[in-house]
Amino acid sequence: MINHEIKIAFEEYSTLAELSKADQNICQEAVKAMENSHSPYSKFRVGAALQLQSGKVIHGSNQENVAYPSGLCAERVALFNWGANHPADPIKTIAITAHTNDFEIIKPVTPCGSCLQVMAEYEKKQDEHLRIILYCIDGPVWVTTGVASFLPFMFFEDRLIAQ
């Protein structure tokens, strides 16, 4: 038997004010992105903002549908927009935030497994880790580099790539 251990590391800041001005700005862009959330069923609004190498910012927000599986998370909306429209401009940072009027969110909301797998795919595509900022409005902020911090057993099968 071999015993393996996986450890993750991330930085935690008490408030947004502790971050650099650039990180504060991308978090505020995630808040702006959240304004376009279509979440009439869950009432749980999520916003994601991508900071590209060029300085361009791409927004994404969760888009629900009465046929629940037909909706899409904010992270994937932003990432698929990047993949379709800006694939030559690498993603440097993704900031994600959420809000609901139904309860208080007291810690950062993490991406779902599907969003993490898409983030992993785009890290691989651009051959560069993403800087990930999870922003809890009026609460802590978590910062890490690389999707493996959240999804250590991400799926990759290099034999599926056409040679």
Positions marked active-site: 75
DSSP reduced 3-state for 32 = helix
CA atoms within 13 A on the CB side of 146: 10
d(CA 93, CA 132) in angstroms, rounded, equals: 6
Q: Which residues face 45 on adjacent strands?
A: 99
Task: Name, in order, each residue with C-beta under 8 angstroms of 133's C-beta and a sequence gap of 6 or more.
Answer: 19, 23, 26, 27, 93, 94, 95, 96, 141, 142, 143
- For 87-135, the DSSP string reads TTS-EEEEEEEEEESSS---SPPPPPHHHHHHHHHHHHHHTSPPEEEEE
φ, ψ for residue 6 (rounded to 5)? -115, 130
